[in-house]
Chains A and B, each alone.
Chain A
């Protein structure tokens, strides 16, 4: 969807507001964006992939190959958008694999877990293979390079995620915010940023435009992750405190301000005697520090940089929609 929106940056009107002024809710932003792109962009079912529907459409469009019809561009960029979604989904599936050696009897019969793993590997591989085939059909080696390298980034990002949760003694890493950002870039931003860039490459836009698309993708997804990490800390209701990751942005920033020792001490205090984490207590501790406010600042900072990248595109409905997305992810109560 992002790619398609970026491509349409040639018509319409409307300037860009700054992030601090707030914006419409996420769901509204998405549905308006979908209207512009022209179709709902939610995940295609596996059945659709296995059926001939897509290939029928593809076949019709293929007749346009060699012509200068602008629809061909659209179709290819749409295909790229779908490829990105395929890859994203493939890794969601691959993330679901369990380590057989770590299973306990309460996890149920071994063969069920093995079967589940088998299905997860195969389904993920199937999605990836489809992505590769569609990429090849775009007939653009630069795009294949970009997306392949994005997949490599994604793997490394997920690998970091995995490594953290396997630590036994430490519930939290000794990383500063800049390392956090590097890792989040790999696991959350690279795919989107490079796919935005690839969409520009497909339409043969200049290196400068490609870079702007990349920057938009990178900063917008960074804001999105920060926004998502902040949710447990900015919600008003306090009846049910949701568990949060100790490696989320506010926690990482809190640790940076407080120092590792003091942070570990707070964690231990929140764990109490039974070793069960009192997330409410820990949340209060983080809220009392500077972690939350600086995470909000960081979120808005990336939002501004995403908007700055958008400035380079001519005003249009699509550009406004992309800006609305930024407003939505930088919006806090």
Chain B
């Protein structure tokens, strides 16, 4: 594939003149003559950097990228990494370009994580070229940058299904492919897992390589240090690649612009990158080493080590002190450098743990991503030529936004309210809070454990902290919740976003366990809003509960469209009081959280069959509204508890109470509806809910089944 037919010289000239108003048909000329054109010509489109946004929108200046998928002749020949082994460096570069455009066009069709994948294209190519997956283990931390890896390891034809029901996972997954050696989704786990794989290899007497790729954001988590500390001690051969793109928080911007790095580690890393003033001293040290060299290997090595320690800047000594040999910084977009270094490290026999500090740029290669403040970290479907995302207009806003507004309204009135999050300013909506109260919003980096204990410390001083962490990420901080907050009865408020099933992110981000693990704690108040107005009231309730910890959970997705309280200020609810939404007979549905909406849907389905159900919103799992449960149990034959959580949650607490209170000794039947005892795979929210069996139809069918009307049950389900 070395043929470059210059069949369109006129067009080439047009491309090189600046400010050419390029029409979309121009790029299609390239795509039509597929095999004849040298793909390097396409670089002319986007290699020039334009100055950032003046008033004129980008589309007025003409599209800065292809609108059609460009031909990828080299990538078409690569199905597995083994097909890459005979490529020359020039071909590797071409492969990287084709891979990049492939990623962009795939993500433009499906949505997903774009910026991070673009930043590691060259690194992925270099890794697969030098190492022999799957015998050599390559681990990708978090996994959202693994799109190029998936394309190169036999899943290119399935990329159009990524993050969809029955499609590829958006993160690495062991059951999907043998090239994904470890499942990721939460961050900072790869060094630990990689060390485990390295030690396992040593115990079994094998000799493959283990490479763990981790980002600078994930480095802010404690587990990365625990792992490096252990790696340094055990001294097993492994390679850690620190992918440094200076984006420590997500999204990598707040509402007003790029986020400056959070924490001291980032400045240490950037000092590593720019060591200029000490360079001369280093030259001297090198000269001394050279002189000493020759037969005195050990002494020379010692001198070199001291020299490096002296002048390597405080950052490299951090890794060196932990016992990893530091190499870098390295330009992460230069394939020659990467291949040279990786080959060298691979060929060295006994290295112990090595850390290669690679500097990349998030969103590299796609002009719109490079310029965007959030570097197109996570995008919906978009148009590749203009970078415009297709965001559907919903009539209501997300629960996340409502939460942020509610918290702002509370904080206006109460000066002691502060918000804490762990590197998720955008995902938790706290960027809005940050903009309104810049000194009262704390981003601690990816450190949930620290966030919880930090909140506990704040609460000791009379501050009212709202710890806003995704339900599934709070799992990390469970001991801190139990020991530091609940045991001491400190009034920390936990706002658990993404509770229940979360859609495309899949089981790694699914918040199914929070009712279970929060409601079993003795001092915790556990509540869940059934709609956005209730969310406002519960934020106010949590703000008012000042003598014990409290938590509330809300799902991903948009509100249902109820009226919001005036000026976004909720009214505290009486703790331990539920409410009845629909009065009926014989069967009562007691819902917890947004499952109440599914219950209402089921009730309306049953109306057409002549049955009227009672629907109640429990609001509190702890303390339970005992009077409500007693009255429901006494006046109905059947009580069904519904929640979008695992076993051991709301339903179990109701059952426990009913059993102890003697309510199950008569003719009352109790049935629970919970998430099934298996992980629900990623897909669209409706598909997931159907898979879990919690749709209104499923609830109605359950009622029919209990009533003995199995025919109607089947009818509803089909």
User: Do A and B assemble together?
Assistant: no
Binding site for A on B (CB under 8 A): none
Binding site for B on A (CB under 8 A): none
